[in-house]
Amino acid sequence: MTQEQAHRLPIGHPEFRYVPSKNPYWGKIQGVTDGSALQDHDAEALRGRWRQAFADRGVAGSRLVVELGCNGGHVLNGWAEREPGSLHVGVDWKYKQIYFAAEKARKRGLKNAAYARAHGDRLPYLFGEGEVDMLAVYFPDPWPKKAQWKHRFLREEWFRRVAPVVRPGGELHIKTDHDGYFDWILEHVARVGDVWSPVDQTRDLHAGNPDPALLQIPDVTLFERLFIRDGIPIKSLRLLRRR
Tens-place pLDDT, residues 105-147: 999 999 999 999 999 999 999 999 999 999 999 999 999 999 9
Q: What is the pLDDT of residue 187?
A: 97
Query: Does residue 6 carry a pLDDT above 90?
Result: no
What would the pLDDT profile of 20-65 be if each residue is shown by its tens digit?
Answer: 999 999 999 999 999 999 999 999 999 999 999 999 999 999 899 9
196: which strand partners? 241
Give 139's DSSP letter.
S
Between CA 81 and CA 63 the distance in angstroms is 14
What's the pLDDT tens digit per position in 176-221? 999 999 999 999 999 999 999 999 999 999 999 999 999 999 999 9
CB atoms under 10 Å from CB of 175, counted, come to: 21
What's the rounded Cα separation, in Å, for the pair 194 and 206? 30
Pairwise CA distance, residues 154 & 141, whole Å: 10
- In the chain, how long is the greatest CA-to-CA distance? 59
Q: Could you give the CA distance from residue 104 to residue 100 in angstroms, rounded to a whole number?
A: 6
pLDDT at position 8 over 90: no
End-to-end CA distance of the chain: 38
240 membership: H or E segment, kind and range? strand 235-241
Report whether 26 contacts 42 (CB < 8 A): no
Active-site residue set: 141
> DSSP per residue over 101-137, as a string?
HHHHHHHTT-TTEEEEE--GGGHHHHS-TT-EEEEEE
Kindly state the average pLDDT of the residues 9-22.
Answer: 89
Q: What is the CA radius of gyration of the chain?
A: 18
Return the number of other C-beta atoms located less than 10 Å from residue 232's C-beta: 14
DSSP, residue by residue, 159-214:
HHHHGGGEEEEEEEEEEES-HHHHHHHHHHHTT-TTTEEEEEEES-TTTT-S-GGG
Q: Count the residues in the chain.
A: 243
pLDDT of 160 > 90? The answer is yes
